């Protein structure tokens, strides 16, 4: 069992999915050479190369659209938006294309597209970097949304959502939580319940 920070759990899930499937690739601002603003892709550029860990311009709508198009053709992109506030700039691609094409095509076209985006409060983040938009994303039909609270969940849910055939959003916390993570693969489904804590009077259940 190893202790991992939140970002390390996400990095491990990235690494495993890139190794498992050659159709998986990652793209976003500063995720390649710099290793990601929050280190969640650190070292992957050197390991997998510029064609699978792609640095993009500051143009969220454009590179999200590239990811959506690649997913429609059978690839499995993991697109990182640096901050959830900037996901607004890509909402047309996410809401009207990625989340809808499976239904609009009568099930003929799948879009296994994943958007990774951190959000919430943290040190040195101002008004344009600290929103929580889960409720907005949850209102989009065709989009699966996961919001992992712990490193263990961040790892398991990123693995789970990448292998699904639909469109999904992995909305992360900025907080630097640390937790013991079992070295053996921790796999979860997208629809499951965890008992977060038990007490004599109250039990905490999360899903």
**Exposed e or buried b for every residue in 29-48, given b needs 16+ CB within 10 A?**
bbbbeebbebebbbebbeeb
pLDDT 10s digits, 164-179? 766 777 677 654 555 5
Residues known to be catalytic: 60, 129
- Inter-residue contact 12 to 40 (CB < 8 Å): no
pLDDT 10s digits, 48-93? 999 999 999 999 999 999 999 999 999 999 999 988 889 999 999 9
pLDDT 10s digits, 179-201? 555 445 555 655 555 555 666 77
Token code pair at residue 154 = 């961040």
Alpha-carbon dihedral angle through residues 26, 31, 32, 38, given to the nearest 10 degrees = -130
Full-model pTM: 0.85
Phi-psi region of 27 (alpha: psi -120 to 50; beta: other; left: phi over 0): beta
Length of the chain: 207
Instruction: Give the residue-averaged pLDDT of 4-8.
Output: 86
């Amino acid at each position: 069992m190893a202790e991992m920070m939140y970002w390390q759990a996400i990095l491990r899930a990235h690494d495993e999915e890139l190794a498992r499937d050659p159709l998986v690739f990652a793209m976003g601002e500063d995720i390649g050479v710099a290793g990601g603003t929050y280190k969640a892709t650190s070292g992957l550029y050197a390991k997998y190369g510029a064609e699978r860990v792609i640095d993009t311009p500051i143009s969220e709508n454009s590179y999200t659209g590239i990811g959506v198009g690649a997913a429609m053709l059978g690839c499995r992109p993991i697109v990182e938006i640096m901050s959830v506030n900037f996901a607004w700039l890509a909402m047309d691609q996410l809401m009207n294309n990625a989340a809808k094409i499976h239904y609009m095509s009568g099930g003929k076209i799948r879009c296994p597209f994943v958007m990774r985006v951190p959000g919430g409060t943290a040190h040195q983040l101002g008004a344009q970097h600290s929103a929580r938009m889960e409720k907005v994303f949850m209102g989009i039909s065709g989009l699966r949304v996961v919001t992992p609270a712990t490193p263990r969940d961040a790892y398991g849910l990123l693995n789970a959502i990448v292998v699904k055939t639909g469109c999904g959003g992995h909305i992360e916390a900025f907080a630097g939580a640390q937790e013991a993570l079992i070295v053996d693969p921790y796999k979860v489904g997208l629809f499951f319940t965890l008992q977060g804590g038990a007490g004599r009077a109250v039990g905490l259940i999360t899903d």
